[in-house]
A and B are shown apart, each in its own frame.
Chain A
Amino acid sequence: MNEPEKEKIKALIFCVKSLCHRLPEPVNLMEVCGTHTVAIYRSGIKQILCHKTRLISGPGCPVCVTPNELVDKAIWYALQSHTIVATFGDMFKVPGSYSSLAEAKTKGGKVQLTYSPLEALELAKRNPEERVVFLGVGFETTAPLVASAILKAKEHNLSNFMVLCGHKTIPQALEKIANNPFLNLQGLILPGHVSCIIGKNPYEFLAQDCNLRGVISGFEPGDILESICLLYKQIVEGRCEIEVQYRRAVSPEGNQEALAVLERVFTSSDSEWRGLGIIANSGLSIREEFSNWDADLVYPAQIGKPIQHKGCICGAVITGLKEPEECSLFGDTCNPEHPVGPCMVSSEGTCGTHFLYQAREIENESPVHP
């Protein structure tokens, strides 16, 4: 970190501390996005905040909110002949009802990790005798890219590529969070990269109708500190607004090109979120025009009723109602090597983050023996 950056961080820490003392009463703030959770733990921001602030991790980890049913379907596809499941690495070890894609691969299932949906498209082109099912998981950041891949598949008349669609949209889930009286939130740190696509406007209802303020934040430690300052400032001044800290990447109207592609291929539908249940219009389904690339229609998976893992409280962790440490499985039965729930698998999952950074804290605190 260079000198000007150090000075900026020092100034921001001063602002955070100064404003924190002026808070009229203790506040609950939620960082919605899993990438923010990791950045907050990694940078030590949690230690800077005064006792008046509780930071709660929210539902912005796509892996964590994906229900077992979708994972079960992906596993079923992986075990069929002439079928390859292409997925982002994040989903590979996520347990479904009975096993994971990683386990399916050890049983001979074909699973290919891809960095981009376009890689899955190339995989389909190179393997015309195989079906390639891309596991479409992610929020508005990712959905336009998968939509682009579907448009290209149509353009090239690629019939062996299809998408198992589990995409979700953030604002509808936030409405449910905002209206949860048990959370008693005073502010949201809103996701920066979802907002690159959707912009600021779709969050305005939170301030106007739900009386919940928010700041769209970047991911550098300085960005997050500034966002917390902006939230504190609003609270101290009694304002309730949606502000943008991540101005270098987020405009009020978002990325119009990406939104047009998303709108062209997907239509909104009800969707099930782990921990939040079914939320109206919070999911994206493939439009009828592109049904030839919709795995659920072209080649429906035959799976049983999904089951939940006994004792796993991922649902309550995702919604901020419980801390990972309150789970009887945490760190013992459930750890990153042997995850029971998705929050422990994902690098951005709250349980995984707590496990990793708590272990480091204990390590740092332990006395050094000569």
Chain B
Amino acid sequence: MCLGVPAKVKKIEGEWGWLDVNQLLLKINLSLVPGVKIGDYVIIHAGFAIQKLSAEEGESTLELFKQILEIDEK
């Protein structure tokens, strides 16, 4: 039930945004993510954007892998 879907903000009108969800344009309420801009990614749940998505990721997995390898080599 707590399903959230990532989506890209394409257009903003007041507290409403038009968001691209797998190439479907949905009208979503943006009032809970103030400061969100066109081009930002958000998570949507039940008609609302509930959080902005940051780009931070990726490196951490690689880092974790390196750490495990180091332990294995010891």
A interface vs B, CB < 8 Å?
Answer: 8, 11-12, 14-15, 18-19, 22, 33-35, 60-63, 88, 90, 115-119, 137-139, 141-142, 144-145, 148, 191-194, 196-197, 219, 222, 226, 229-230, 233, 247-250, 255, 257-258, 261, 346, 348
- Taking a contact as CB atoms closer than 8 A, the residue among B2, B55, B61, B64 that contacts A139 in the complex is B2
**CB–CB B2/A11 < 8 A:** no
Residue of A whose beta carbon sits closest to that of B29: A118
- Taking a contact as CB atoms closer than 8 A, the residue among B32, B61, B65 that contacts A255 in the complex is B32
Q: Chain B, 25-36, contact with A by CB distance < 8 Å: what is the 0/1 string?
A: 000010111100
A-side contacts of B43, CB under 8 Å? 193, 196, 249
- Chain A: interface secondary structure? helix
Within the assembled complex, what's the spacing in Å between the Cα atoms of A90 and B3? 11
Shortest A93–chain B CB gap in Å is: 14
Task: Judge whether B45 is part of the interface by a CB distance below 8 angstroms.
Answer: yes
Residue of A whose beta carbon sits closest to that of B41: A248
**CB–CB B54/A116 < 8 A:** no
Task: Judge whether B13 is part of the interface by a CB distance below 8 angstroms.
Answer: no
**CB–CB A115/B61 < 8 A:** no
A-side contacts of B4, CB under 8 Å? 141, 192-193, 196, 219, 249
- Taking a contact as CB atoms closer than 8 A, the residue among A15, A196, A226 that contacts B50 in the complex is A196
Residue of B whose beta carbon sits closest to that of A262: B32
**CB–CB B61/A33 < 8 A:** no
- Taking a contact as CB atoms closer than 8 A, the residue among A142, A196, A250 that contacts B1 in the complex is A142
Task: Judge whether B21 is part of the interface by a CB distance below 8 angstroms.
Answer: no
**CB–CB A119/B47 < 8 A:** yes
Shortest B31–chain A CB gap in Å is: 6
Within the assembled complex, what's the spacing in Å between the Cα atoms of A261 and B67? 41
Shortest A39–chain B CB gap in Å is: 11
